[in-house]
Homo-oligomer: A and B are copies of this chain.
Amino acid sequence: MTYKPGQKIGYLGGGQLARLLSQSAQSLGLEALVFSVHNSDPAAQVVRHWHQGEISDSAKVVEFLNQISVATFESEFVDIPLLKIALAQTQCDIYPAPDVMAQIQDRKLQKKLFDDYRLPTSPWQDLPDQRSLENYAQENTFPFVLKKRFMGYDGYGTFMIHNPTELKNFIKNHWQENLYIAESFIPFKKECAIILARSLDGSLTHLPFVESHQKEARCDWVRGPLAVKKEKKWIKKLFHFLEQINYIGVMGVEFFLNKGELIINEIAPRVHNTGHYSIELEGFSQFDLHNMALLGQALPPPTKIRGGFAMVNLIGNGQALQIKACSGLHWYGKQENKIGRKMGHLTVTAATPQAALKKALKQRGELGL
């Protein structure tokens, strides 16, 4: 499978993921088009063809999609029925397929997918009404976790319930019928993640497992490669899963690591923060792989990583920033340095993951973030 230099590829969304996808597309010889709200959005800054619009504005989405033959999402939190109305009016293909996206964007359906494909995950329960929540609390031990079915990321929409008082407060302040699922709390030691990709031509590949560290429910750093138990079996299982749901593109999978065993926490149907390090590795980045998958390019077999790497996020602190250039820096061009906002990341390679992380944290310190 080949493509024409200058072939167009469209990104719905203008954040850092669309920015890094656009930059990859440009290096591969594609013309990246971005659809987003503000022309100061991170991705809007790095392309010639930026299209203003809200993703809920079907007419504008159609206008955008009419200019391209293939597009992808930056975020899974898209109104799928609305998008399907827009798609019906264009010839443009979009991946991952909207029906797949609809399943993954809903934690309840995502959990069902895990169960259907026998992917180990924490026990969970649907909560259609308040009685089901009360029953769940009686039948299970504290703590447990309540998760909003939609729009949950970076810890938003996740509630850890330690006791009956907290449950009562939750019901008072947040509860809505059919909007949450309950999950057992997994006492994990570490979290880890992996990037997989499947192309339109059916070829599959993956990047190495990595350890990911959260701070205030947000990815703080990633280091790798990480050796995990039953790695081959896991890859096989996940490849099978991608094939069965006919998934196209990059998928990020996050795990809890408990007593050496992996348990899937969640999946993201897109390029993922835990895969940003791949820009600095030999071979293809996750952004390249996603673009290639959408074009039906053959994905390369996984490569053995020499040495270690680490990626640290640069999180906004609300102050007036003055930074210094550092190697492996990817600044996202966000206009406001808000507290808790992902402003950029940086990647360091070294002899070991530990050494890389140490160096990366030092560089972050020097940036004042």
Q: List 19 A-B contacts (CB under 8 A).
A: A1-B324, A3-B325, A5-B321, A5-B323, A5-B337, A6-B335, A23-B23, A26-B331, A26-B333, A27-B331, A31-B333, A39-B48, A44-B48, A45-B47, A46-B46, A46-B47, A48-B50, A282-B349, A292-B325
Judged by a CB distance under 8 angstroms, whether A329 is at the interface is yes
Chain B CB count within 10 A is highest, among A27, A323, A331, A333, for: A27
A149 to chain B, nearest CB (A): 36
Judged by a CB distance under 8 angstroms, whether A133 is at the interface is no
The answer to whether B5 touches A343, judged by C-beta atoms less than 8 angstroms apart, is: yes
What chain B residues lie within 8 Å of A157 (beta carbons)? Answer: none
- Within the complex, which residue of B47, B283, B329 is in contact with A27, where a contact is CB–CB below 8 Å? B329
Provide the A143-169 mask, 1 if CB < 8 A to any CB of B, else 0: 000000000000000000000000000
Judged by a CB distance under 8 angstroms, whether A322 is at the interface is yes
Residues of A within 8 A of B (CB): 1-6, 23, 26-29, 31, 39, 44-48, 50, 280, 282-284, 288, 291-292, 295, 297-298, 300, 321-325, 327, 329-331, 333, 335, 337, 343-344, 349
A183 to chain B, nearest CB (A): 38
Known A-B contacts A44-B48, A46-B47, A46-B48; the reply to A29 vs B327 at CB < 8 A is no
The answer to whether A325 touches B45, judged by C-beta atoms less than 8 angstroms apart, is: no
A178 to chain B, nearest CB (A): 43
What chain B residues lie within 8 Å of A23 (beta carbons)? Answer: 23, 26-27, 46
The 9 residue pairs across chains A and B that have the minimum distance between CB atoms: A29-B331, A2-B322, A45-B48, A283-B327, A292-B325, A297-B325, A27-B330, A284-B327, A28-B325
The answer to whether B4 touches A329, judged by C-beta atoms less than 8 angstroms apart, is: no
What chain B residues lie within 8 Å of A48 (beta carbons)? Answer: 39, 44-47, 50
Nearest B residue to A22, CB-CB? B46
CA distance A117 to B335 in the complex (A): 47
The answer to whether A329 touches B28, judged by C-beta atoms less than 8 angstroms apart, is: yes
Nearest B residue to A322, CB-CB? B2
Known A-B contacts A6-B333, A343-B5; the reply to A325 vs B50 at CB < 8 A is no
What chain B residues lie within 8 Å of A39 (beta carbons)? Answer: 48
CA distance A90 to B47 in the complex (A): 28
Nearest B residue to A27, CB-CB? B330
What chain B residues lie within 8 Å of A5 (beta carbons)? Answer: 321, 323, 331, 333, 337, 343
The answer to whether B284 touches A297, judged by C-beta atoms less than 8 angstroms apart, is: no
What chain B residues lie within 8 Å of A300 (beta carbons)? Answer: 327
What chain B residues lie within 8 Å of A327 (beta carbons)? Answer: 282-284, 288, 300
What chain B residues lie within 8 Å of A50 (beta carbons)? Answer: 48
The answer to whether B284 touches A321, judged by C-beta atoms less than 8 angstroms apart, is: no
Q: 20 extra interchain contacts, Cβ-Cβ under 8 A, other than A2-B324, A3-B324, A39-B48?
A: A3-B322, A3-B323, A4-B321, A4-B322, A6-B335, A23-B23, A23-B27, A23-B46, A27-B329, A27-B330, A28-B329, A29-B344, A31-B333, A44-B48, A46-B46, A47-B48, A283-B327, A288-B325, A297-B325, A298-B324
